[in-house]
Structure 1
Amino acid sequence: MIVSIILFIIIFCVLVVSHELGHFLIARKNGIHVVEFFIGMGPSLISFEKGGTKYSLKLLPIGGACVFEGEDGQNMGEEQSEEGEGSFQKASVGARFATVLAGPVANFVIAYLFALIIVWFCGVMMPTISSVTEGGAAEAAGLQEGDVITRINGEKIHMWEDIRLAALIGQGGSMTIEYERQGEKDEVILNPVYDENGDTWYIGIMGGTDLKICTVPETFQYGFYVLEYTVKATAKSLVMLVRGQLSADAVSGPVGMVQYVDQTYDAVKDYGMSNVIINMVNIAMMLSISLGVMNLLPLPALDGGRLVFLLVEMVRGKPVPPEKEGLVHLGGMIALMILMVFVLVNDISKLL
């Protein structure tokens, strides 16, 4: 477990640092003064000041932040209050929008780099059918072993994982399957079959055995496909959670993620350090995308919520009063803290 905790802390630091570094670099480029750059929450373990910015590492691995001069009407010194130089509120709306957006964008960039590593060392599974379930929906539609699925409901299929995601999104609806068989293109209508025991819809095909080892150009191409797939899967999971199609147990905080890292580590450690590293990179990629997607949600206290206020400012031609926006984000932060406590208690309960 100690090794898993260390691995989680490394992953956590990489993701949070990349997110906050995105904010930091674009803020500095636009002349916005960063008061503090910190990783974690709670009391500081280590801190130092350089170039007018305080850098801190805090006790609890549950987030981080870039604190800007004059953000939400706070942290404004006398000089900044009078002259506005370095104040977040005095920067142009475009500069502020770019600064806020840079955090989630940085998460997608680092996730793409992780995807490149995964594709380069592991390759990708192509959307080739290895077998068809007897009496299943695919057999009834006329699909056969060796068929390569190219589109589902008009959406391009690049990898085997895309098929599984399309089946999940479809939720049992009819699927228009375009495929290639011995160089010939064709399409069929497939109607998934519901299984009461598994409480899911099955399309009746097996795959994930046609491994493609990528060249350098293909690595960049398929790295993007892996990124695209993971973003779609993350967004779909959020929608299913909101609709009640996923239980609260599907949500995990730091404790749950440490447990997941530990389970993964135990499963692959006997296969060598390279397997451990690749699996940790895969977890880091998924978490980085989750962090990016979550922060883009239009909710108070998140980057997406701040972007909403900036869009309102662009439309109105004047900003929402900083003190009012600050109150909204404060309320969002309180709600977020309550959610984090709930997730923490839920994670601990699953261990008992």
Structure 2
Amino acid sequence: MLVSVILFFIIFGVLVTTHELGHFLIAKANGIRVLEFFIGMGPILFKKQKGETLYSIRLLPIGGACRFEGEDDIDGEDHSYDERSFPNANVWARIAVLFGGPFFNFITAMILAIIVVANAPWDFPVVSGLTEENSAAAEAGLQEGDLIVSVDGEKIYLASEVSVISQFSQGGVMKIDFERDGELMHTELTPHYDEEQGRYFMGVYIGKYERITGLKIIPYAFHDVLFYFKSTYRSLALLIQGRLSMRDVSGPVGMVKIVDDTYEAVSPYGISSVVLTMLELMILLSVNLGVMNLLPFPALDGGRLVFQFIEVVRGKPVPREKEGMVHLVGMVVLMAFMLVVVISDISKFMN
């Protein structure tokens, strides 16, 4: 478990650092003064002033932030800031800065995906077997060796995409395009409902590992990142619809458990397997962090972006004290939500 905790802090530290680095670099490029760049939360362990920015590492290895001049002054008073303060920057510069964090998460995910795809076999969406003779896939005429090309018009590149579509299915008819012996074919598949597990199944085993080489690595890396992007927003939709519960949501404690389970599963196969699997997990978490921060919820980057776009439409900013109050309420709600998630995570550990 100690190794898993260390791995989690390394993974989370890298992802938070790249996120804040996105804010930092784009702010600098737009001439916005960055007062502090810090990683972690709580008391300062190490700090160094370089130029106009204080760089620091804090005690709790979770979270981080860039603090811009004038960003947190929301008392409604008339503060005197020069043109390099965040409030006085051009609105499009502020939009770029706020979007920079999530954007760097997606860039980080893409870089990691290129490394993984170049060094690990790709799991192609090839039918490797049917769960039973009368499964939904068998009724649709699918056979071992068929390459799934698309489901309901959505292009498929990865075996896990078929699994996720099956998991999220609500029982409707699926239009399947597949290749058999080089010929493109079409069929319709109606998933079967499993009462014991409470979900629909396509009744098919999917997966065939082959290496990707040359320039094909880049587009397949993009497909890998896109898969996690789709999985993240689909999971959010299921949570909103009530088809997922709080027990399906993981916070820091739950992520440590996921890292530990993953490490225990792949460690017998050697250090290279551990590294590649952890990089794949980082891709998932980096995309997840980027998507979550873009949600239009107060206190998140997405919530702050909403106010910037309102300013674009209105031609003038929302009063800062009003915006600040909205973000304060949002922060309280987020902290309460995280507390619930942590309690849920701990209860999972104890079961």
**Quick one: distance in 2 between partners of 1:232 and 1:42?**
34
Q: Return the offset for 1:82.
A: 3.3
82-91 vs 296-305, greater mean Cα deviation = 82-91
Aligned-residue Cα RMSD (Å) equals: 1.7
**Quick one: distance in 1 between partners of 2:294 and 2:68?**
19
Partner of 2:62: 62
What CA deviation, in whole Å up to 9, does each residue of 1:86-138 have, x standing for no partner?
21011101100000000000001101111112211112111111222310111
What CA deviation, in whole Å up to 9, does each residue of 1:283-337 have, x standing for no partner?
1111111110100000000000011111111111111011211111111111111
Question: Does residue 1:139 correspond to 2:138, yes or no?
Answer: yes
**Partner-residue secondary structure (3-state), 2:127:** coil
**Quick one: distance in 2 between partners of 1:184 and 1:29?**
52
Q: Return the offset for 1:176.
A: 0.4
- Where structure 2 has 5 or more consecutive residues not aligned to the other structure, the ranges are none
**Quick one: distance in 2 between partners of 1:298 and 1:14?**
24
Q: Return the offset for 1:74.
A: 5.3
Q: Return the offset for 1:231.
A: 0.5
Partner of 1:157: 156
Partner of 1:240: 238
- Where structure 1 has 5 or more consecutive residues not aligned to the other structure, the ranges are none
Residues 69 and 75 of structure 1 are in contact (CA less than 8 Å); yes or no, is this contact kept in structure 2?
no
Q: Return the offset for 1:340.
A: 1.6
What CA deviation, in whole Å up to 9, does each residue of 1:171-222 have, x standing for no partner?
21110011111122221111110011121211121121x2121112111110
325-334 vs 301-310, greater mean Cα deviation = 325-334
After superposition, the Cα gap between the structure-2 partners of 1:165 and 1:350, relative to the gap in structure 1 and judged at 3 Å, is: closer
Residues 70 and 81 of structure 2 are in contact (CA less than 8 Å); yes or no, is this contact kept in structure 1?
no
Aligned residues: 348
Question: Does residue 1:287 correspond to 2:285, yes or no?
Answer: yes
Question: Does residue 1:227 correspond to 2:225, yes or no?
Answer: yes
Partner of 1:43: 43
Partner of 1:52: 52
Q: Return the offset for 1:7.
A: 0.9
Amino acid of the residue matched to residue 261 of structure 1? V
Q: Return the offset for 1:83.
A: 5.0
**Partner-residue secondary structure (3-state), 2:125:** coil
Counterpart of 1:216 (choices 214, 217, 220) is 214
**Partner-residue secondary structure (3-state), 1:120:** helix
**Quick one: distance in 2 between partners of 1:262 and 1:19?**
24
Amino acid of the residue matched to residue 309 of structure 2? L
What pairs with 1:305-324 in structure 2 (closer than 5 Å)? 305-324=303-322
* Moved >4 Å (runs of 4+): none
Counterpart of 1:113 (choices 111, 114, 137) is 111
331-340 vs 225-234, greater mean Cα deviation = 331-340
259-268 vs 328-337, greater mean Cα deviation = 259-268
**Quick one: distance in 2 between partners of 1:75 and 1:62?**
28
**Quick one: distance in 2 between partners of 1:256 and 1:160?**
26
Q: Return the offset for 1:75.
A: 11
